[in-house]
A and B are shown apart, each in its own frame.
Chain A
Amino acid sequence: MLRDSSLARLHEEIIDFYQYISPRPEEKNMRETVVEGVKEVILTLWPHVQVEVFGSFRTGLYLPTSDIDLVIFGIDGKGAFEDLEKALMQHEVCDRDNIKCIHNAMVPIIKLTEKTCNYKMDIEFNIENSVKSADIIQTYIRKYEPLKYLVLVLKQFLFQRELNEVFSGGVSSYTLVMMVVNFLQLHPRRYTDHPEANYGVLLIEFFELYGRHFNYHTTCIRVRNGGQYLTKEEVRIKYQPSFLCIEDPALFSNDIGKGSFRAAFVKQSFDYAYSVMSKAVLDNTPYPR
């Protein structure tokens, strides 16, 4: 019996999905052990450097398939990539086939899949904002109750469509969080942070906004100070805005959407999700007449 209840059911399913997919303590311990192992290799190679976890493993908003992100401070990138690559293979963190340096990315990184649990790992150098961005995300998670639920569902959605990595033109987790934050900040209806707000309606409205209505040609996103939209002309004074232009709350001169060269596909997939979901819920909602 779905009558009169498809949206309540969708709301419950979102919460169930969050609880199901959220890391269990064992999962978290495994990841921590892997991080410690890699940290040890790095510190053996360069005893004076500082290693930090950032990204979703730091914010806690990660899927079992999510990468572990590390940043190393205090060593110059030149030659360091090759040295670290060698050291990681020597200490059998990963095989030769499972590690590569990506120099042509926006931010050069080492990508590897470690041996023990097959976790994917990204290692970068001296990117100050990585840690700061994770801390900003955590502040927003505390501030906007529906955020973590919507983000995990959307992360899984993008992951299934291979649109979850900037490296391949998709949308990073950071960008996705900022899209959801701004959606909640600027929603015309003031009910989004009410304890009885339906997350199913919010999810469909997220797809509706970014799949159908948001004008990517004219409008940019700013999340700091409570959130607002900016016109592309306003932004152009400072930098050339990208298609999916979002001001980085950790570094205002940075457009975090600039690497997402497949953002138009992301929009399209949101539009498709909107059609499918709104039709599915309407087919199961009683029609008075």
Chain B
Amino acid sequence: KECPNGLAKDKRKTCRRCFMRGHVEKECPDRWRQYYATTKFGPPKKPPDELLNAQNPRVYCYNCGKKGHYGHECVEARMNSWIPPSIPFVFRFDNLILRNKPGTSS
């Protein structure tokens, strides 16, 4: 179960939102990242489909410096082993999902 303080005491715990290790859902970076296309007050705005999953064709890795994969996909050792990578794409736009299917996650 999640820590009531929202702190991931167990670093091996997997986030139920982005499926990365090291944090719980409540502190998931996906929760602030979902606002990347929102500049007005209100719920996070989901970008149009053609932009939603658009990826940069310049694919370089910030972790090993090589071409062909992004940094979060890298299998090489991290500079700080205790910092797991995070996904630069958004998993969920909260209010949109909640409006359609309350209480469930996609």
Contacts and interface: CB of A to CB of B under 8 A. Distances in A.
A binds B: yes
Interface of A: 4-5, 7-9, 11-12, 185-191, 194, 196-198, 200-202, 204-205, 208-209, 212-220, 226-232, 234, 278-279, 281-282, 285-289
B83 A212 contact: yes
A189 B60 contact: no
Interface of B: 26-27, 29, 31-33, 35-43, 45, 47, 51, 54-56, 58-67, 70-72, 76, 78-80, 83, 85-86, 88-89, 94-95, 97-98, 103
Contacts of A208: 29, 86
A213 to B, nearest CB: 6
A232 B98 CA distance: 46
A190 B58 CA distance: 10
A189 B88 contact: yes
Contacts of A5: 41-42
Nearest to A7: B35
B63 A218 contact: yes
3 shortest A-B CB distances, which residue pairs?
Answer: A219-B65, A231-B65, A7-B35
A186 B56 CA distance: 7
B32 A281 contact: yes
Given A190-B55, A278-B32, A217 B26 contact: no
B65 A213 contact: no
A19 to B, nearest CB: 15
Contacts of B33: 201, 205
Contacts of A8: 35, 38-42
A188 B66 contact: no
B39 A231 contact: no
Given A186-B62, A189-B89, A218-B63, 12 more contacts: A188-B55, A190-B55, A196-B45, A196-B47, A200-B35, A201-B35, A205-B33, A205-B88, A215-B65, A215-B79, A228-B67, A279-B27
Contact of A188 (B43, B67, B89, B95): B89
Nearest to A201: B36
A285 B32 contact: yes
21 contacts: A7-B32, A8-B38, A186-B60, A186-B62, A188-B56, A188-B89, A189-B89, A190-B55, A191-B54, A200-B35, A202-B36, A205-B33, A212-B83, A218-B63, A227-B58, A228-B67, A229-B62, A231-B64, A282-B31, A285-B31, A288-B97
B32 A4 contact: no
B43 A229 contact: no
B65 A191 contact: no
Contacts of A232: 65
Nearest to A284: B32
Contact of A194 (B37, B61, B86): B37
A198 B65 contact: no
A279 B26 CA distance: 10
Nearest to A200: B35
A226 B59 CA distance: 12
B65 A188 contact: no
A220 B63 contact: no
